[in-house]
A and B are shown apart, each in its own frame.
Chain A
Amino acid sequence: MNAPVSVNQLLPELDRRHLDWLEEEAIFILRETVAAFERPALLFSGGKDSCVVLRLAEKAFKNSLGQGQFKGRLPFPLLHVDTGHNFPEVIEFRDRRIAEMGERLVVGHLEDSIKRGTVRLSHPLESRNGHQTVALLEAIEEHRFDLLIGGARRDEEKARAKERIFSHRDSFGQWQPKEQRPELWTLFNTRIKPGEHMRAFPISNWTELDVWLYIARENIPLPHIYYAHDRQVVRRKGLLVPVTEVTPVEAGEAAETVQVRFRTVGDMTCTCPVESDAATPAEIVAETLTVTVSERGATRMDDRTSDASMERRKKEGYF
């Protein structure tokens, strides 16, 4: 959660040192995942949080050549669960970035799960966000991953705020909030049984503001839709719904062109941009300091259905 304080209250020194501390913690967690697990993978969607985790992984496992360039290869593949409803700009960015870095990408396609019959849609334009869980768990099983590194942050949502840094999943991939292991110091209990796996969240303690400060400091490349651009939207239930083939203009609505940016990037059917003219990470930092609506509140249609919608999805294995 970010306090809507004035820009004058931003203390560069405080924030710089705080970022160093967050970076240190995240790198420690990333090294732990590789040291303690046999088949880890890094969840990479091309979103800002996973781009930050990717940079942290480069720092943890590669040698720096300066200017954001690194030598070497990550000790794990990247995994993306593609719903088929991703913003094309983000998929294009994902593929370009991974090719530049020479990393290995594994994609789990929701379409494949639909073909297999493990996912049944009740109607063709239904949000596929919740169904990602099935494709994710199928990818975990197929590749026998025993740990997934995710970019979730505790400031995003109330159920996330409760989750451990190393989070145990049973053989059905389920999170059991009442059965969480005590997490003492940094003595992570990484012991699992065959068929179980864990999730690790190296940027648990980061806020949306920290993420943007770090993107600005490290010059981390992002899909351009994170920055101000013109887009066709309709206003629906207080949100700006982007006009796409899966979220068409409905009867009685009028599309308009608005200057927007995305604060979060997920499935096209449930992710909305916000009005903004912020075109650089520094401008987004300044804007983040003054926002009055939370990241999910401003941008997600699917979290609004109930106070517990995220928790229910997480219990089923969502990330």
Chain B
Amino acid sequence: MSAAVHTTSPVAQEADHRALRFLTAGSVDDGKSTLIGRLLFDSRAILADQLDTLERRAAGQPIDLSLLTDGLEAEREQGITIDVAYRYFATKTRKFIIADAPGHEQYTRNMVTAAAGSDAAVVLVDITKLDTTAQAVALLPQTRRHALLAHLLRVPSIVFAVNKLDAVADPAPAFDAVRRALLAFCEQAGIQVAGIIPVSALRGDNVTTPLQADWYQGPSLLQLLESLPTTQERKTGQLLLPVQYVAREGEGTGNQPRTLWGRIAHGSVKAGDQVQLFPSGELATVAEVRRAGEVVDACVAGESAGVVLDRQLDVSRGDWIGSPQSISASNRFAATLAWLDTEPAVVGRKYWVRHGNRWVQARIASIESRLDIHSLQASEAHELAVNDIGNVVIETQQPLPVESYQDNRVGGALIIVDPTSNRTSGALLVQAAR
């Protein structure tokens, strides 16, 4: 097995206290629910009464592990997953949060929900749906779409689980052919692969217990998941802190000390630091740093800090605190837009966008291109429909301190909201300020 597997860096080891958040994706019937059921079942996270329900439904037949995850009536009726379900399990060395995302194209928006904030994506590939004797194996569109979406949303580790190995007569060459197709696709799309793992979710092969086969010496899926890094914030360098909530001490409206609370996007803050406020541009010194009800020496990226300044300034939710001269803002920027609304994206129409803790009006100035999921080519487009991904230029009513999403998720991510329905219509990932 030659697919590149992440090596665990010292940074990742330090971060191992965090639960690894991963999503599972892939086409309908690729066996996602069965795979999750298997992970929970084999790691003994399923309790007797839950198993009991399954056994009653099975009425003597082997139990259907997929029934563990579909929690909505409509899902059981239709036998598909509609919305993300979150599941929890732990091994000796790690805690896990699974975001079980739907495979159905109609519910791609929920897959995007699962991907935002995930440390890893497990894309299921059903080997029985592929012609593994072909010169070049043709992957299913949803495999490509989900891997690509995970990649565009910068899910740090992308893993393919090649499922239903039990249903293939000669698994070694079949797996090898699929593996080569996946690697070719990923290379073309610029996706870094964290692992390609053969599994049988139904039988439990190579999910939690390593596969006993002479043609595969790699890790089991669970072993790989235990070794993947969790997302790390940049704790050094310039401070960037979006003000989430301004708390006043005591009652009244006078000049009480105020604490500016916010989760640090990058850098750190300690008493005595010089900071600059955005958008006012005013300078101040940090008098005190608080965290969860206590005065602390310092706070770092990822933590919510309460900053008390040495003087009273007009600061509200939505403002930013940064190192002096470090924040520059723009009201026009290029972004990747994942459109999630059944109403298509309209150039020129006003939407709300949320960046950090600020809501501003914005419009899509232009749609530069739309990504063709099959060819992976960007083509000219005037419209983005539901589940489309495109490159757009956004104009905002006020300048925003946007950063490239690749550099920083907090500074580079926005949601776009329909002002009439209040639906979350899309996810914006900033490429560069214009």
1/0 contact trace for B133-176 toward A, CB 8 Å? 00000000000000000000000000000000000000000000
B92-100, B271-279, B328-336 - the one binding chain A: B92-100
Indicate if A257 sits at the interface (CB-CB under 8 A): no
Q: Is there an interface contact between B304 and A27, defined as CB atoms closer than 8 Å?
A: yes
Tell me the residues in window 169-206 of chain A with beta carbons closer than 8 Å to chain B beta carbons.
Answer: 177-178, 180-187, 189, 191-193, 204-205
Q: Within 8 Å CB of B261, what residues of A?
A: 31
Measured in the bound complex, the distance between the Cα atoms of B427 and A180 in whole Å is 15
Q: Within 8 Å CB of B355, what residues of A?
A: 187
Indicate if A99 sits at the interface (CB-CB under 8 A): no
1/0 contact trace for B242-255 toward A, CB 8 Å? 00111101100000
Tell me the residues in window 389-430 of chain B with beta carbons closer than 8 Å to chain A beta carbons.
Answer: 409-410, 413-415, 417, 422-424, 427
Neighbour of B72 across the interface among A60, A159, A204, A298, CB < 8 A:
A159
Q: Within 8 Å CB of A292, what residues of B?
A: 47-48
Indicate if A161 sits at the interface (CB-CB under 8 A): yes
Indicate if B2 sits at the interface (CB-CB under 8 A): no
Q: Within 8 Å CB of B116, what residues of A?
A: 183-185
Q: Is there an interface contact between B83 and A4, defined as CB atoms closer than 8 Å?
A: no
Q: Is there an interface contact between B83 and A184, defined as CB atoms closer than 8 Å?
A: no
1/0 contact trace for A64-78 toward B, CB 8 Å? 100000101001000
Q: Within 8 Å CB of A308, what residues of B?
A: 72-73, 76
Neighbour of A161 across the interface among B46, B87, B110, B303, CB < 8 A:
B87
Indicate if A217 sits at the interface (CB-CB under 8 A): no
Q: Is there an interface contact between A193 and B244, defined as CB atoms closer than 8 Å?
A: no
Q: Within 8 Å CB of B85, what residues of A?
A: 154, 158, 161-162
Q: Is there an interface contact between A3 and B44, defined as CB atoms closer than 8 Å?
A: yes
Indicate if B326 sits at the interface (CB-CB under 8 A): no
Interface size on B, residues (CB 8 A): 74
A9-17, A44-52, A89-97, A274-282 - the one binding chain B: A9-17
Neighbour of A59 across the interface among B73, B292, B414, CB < 8 A:
B292
Indicate if A105 sits at the interface (CB-CB under 8 A): no
Which residue of chain B has the shortest Cβ distance to A294 in the bound complex?
B47
Q: Is there an interface contact between B413 and A185, defined as CB atoms closer than 8 Å?
A: yes
Q: Within 8 Å CB of B424, what residues of A?
A: 181-184, 189
Neighbour of B86 across the interface among A27, A62, A191, A204, CB < 8 A:
A204
Measured in the bound complex, the distance between the Cα atoms of B88 and A58 in whole Å is 27
Neighbour of A181 across the interface among B71, B73, B263, B423, CB < 8 A:
B423
Q: Within 8 Å CB of B44, what residues of A?
A: 3-5
Neighbour of B263 across the interface among A18, A28, A34, A204, CB < 8 A:
A28
Q: Is there an interface contact between A31 and B304, defined as CB atoms closer than 8 Å?
A: yes
Q: Is there an interface contact between A189 and B354, defined as CB atoms closer than 8 Å?
A: yes
Shortest Cβ distance from residue B288 to the other chain A in the assembled complex, whole angstroms: 11
Which residue of chain B has the shortest Cβ distance to A291 in the bound complex?
B47
Which residue of chain B has the shortest Cβ distance to A34 in the bound complex?
B245
CB contact under 8 A between A58 and B293, given known A181-B424, A185-B116, A298-B49? yes
Indicate if B188 sits at the interface (CB-CB under 8 A): no
Which residue of chain A has the shortest Cβ distance to B43 in the bound complex?
A3
Indicate if B45 sits at the interface (CB-CB under 8 A): yes
1/0 contact trace for B31-75 toward A, CB 8 Å? 000000000100111111110110000000000000001111110
Q: Within 8 Å CB of A183, what residues of B?
A: 113, 116, 424
Measured in the bound complex, the distance between the Cα atoms of B89 and A32 in whole Å is 28
Indicate if B370 sits at the interface (CB-CB under 8 A): no
Q: Is there an interface contact between B46 and A1, defined as CB atoms closer than 8 Å?
A: yes
Q: Is there an interface contact between A177 and B87, defined as CB atoms closer than 8 Å?
A: no
Q: Within 8 Å CB of A14, what residues of B?
A: 16-17, 93-95
Instruction: Give chain A's interface residue range (CB within 8 Å of chain B).
Output: 35 or more
Shortest Cβ distance from residue B373 to the other chain A in the assembled complex, whole angstroms: 19
Measured in the bound complex, the distance between the Cα atoms of B149 and A114 in whole Å is 51
1/0 contact trace for B172-187 toward A, CB 8 Å? 0000000000000000
Q: Within 8 Å CB of A177, what residues of B?
A: 72, 74, 82-83
Q: Is there an interface contact between B413 and A184, defined as CB atoms closer than 8 Å?
A: yes
Interface centre among B17, B89, B261 (most CB of A within 10 A): B17
Indicate if B371 sits at the interface (CB-CB under 8 A): no
Interface centre among A23, A62, A158 (most CB of B within 10 A): A158
CB contact under 8 A between A158 and B71, given known A9-B92, A24-B303, A185-B409? yes
Which residue of chain B has the shortest Cβ distance to A165 in the bound complex?
B86
Which residue of chain B has the shortest Cβ distance to A168 in the bound complex?
B422
Neighbour of B109 across the interface among A13, A31, A60, A182, CB < 8 A:
A182
Q: Within 8 Å CB of A31, what residues of B?
A: 244-245, 261, 304
Interface centre among B19, B50, B83, B352 (most CB of A within 10 A): B83
Q: Within 8 Å CB of B357, what residues of A?
A: 35
Measured in the bound complex, the distance between the Cα atoms of B354 and A35 in whole Å is 14
Q: Is there an interface contact between B72 and A64, defined as CB atoms closer than 8 Å?
A: no
Which residue of chain A has the shortest Cβ distance to B115 in the bound complex?
A184
Q: Is there an interface contact between B72 and A162, defined as CB atoms closer than 8 Å?
A: yes
Q: Within 8 Å CB of B88, what residues of A?
A: 1, 154-155, 205, 207
Measured in the bound complex, the distance between the Cα atoms of B82 and A177 in whole Å is 9
Shortest Cβ distance from residue A4 to the other chain B in the assembled complex, whole angstroms: 6
Shortest Cβ distance from residue A60 to the other chain B in the assembled complex, whole angstroms: 7
Q: Within 8 Å CB of B123, what residues of A?
A: none
Q: Within 8 Å CB of A158, what residues of B?
A: 69-72, 85
Shortest Cβ distance from residue A65 to the other chain B in the assembled complex, whole angstroms: 9
What are 26 A-B residue pairs whose CB atoms fall within 8 Å in the complex? A1-B40, A3-B43, A11-B93, A14-B94, A17-B17, A24-B302, A24-B303, A28-B263, A31-B244, A58-B293, A72-B249, A154-B85, A155-B87, A158-B71, A162-B85, A184-B117, A184-B413, A184-B427, A187-B413, A189-B424, A207-B88, A294-B47, A297-B48, A297-B50, A308-B73, A311-B72
B positions within 8 Å CB-CB of A = 16-19, 40, 43-50, 52-53, 69-74, 76, 82-90, 92-95, 97, 109-110, 112-113, 116-117, 244-247, 249-250, 261, 263, 290, 292-294, 302-304, 317, 340, 352, 354-355, 357, 359, 409-410, 413-415, 417, 422-424, 427
Beyond known contacts A1-B45, A24-B302, A307-B73: 12 more, CB 8 A cutoff: A3-B45, A5-B44, A11-B93, A154-B88, A162-B72, A178-B74, A181-B423, A182-B415, A187-B413, A191-B359, A193-B422, A294-B49
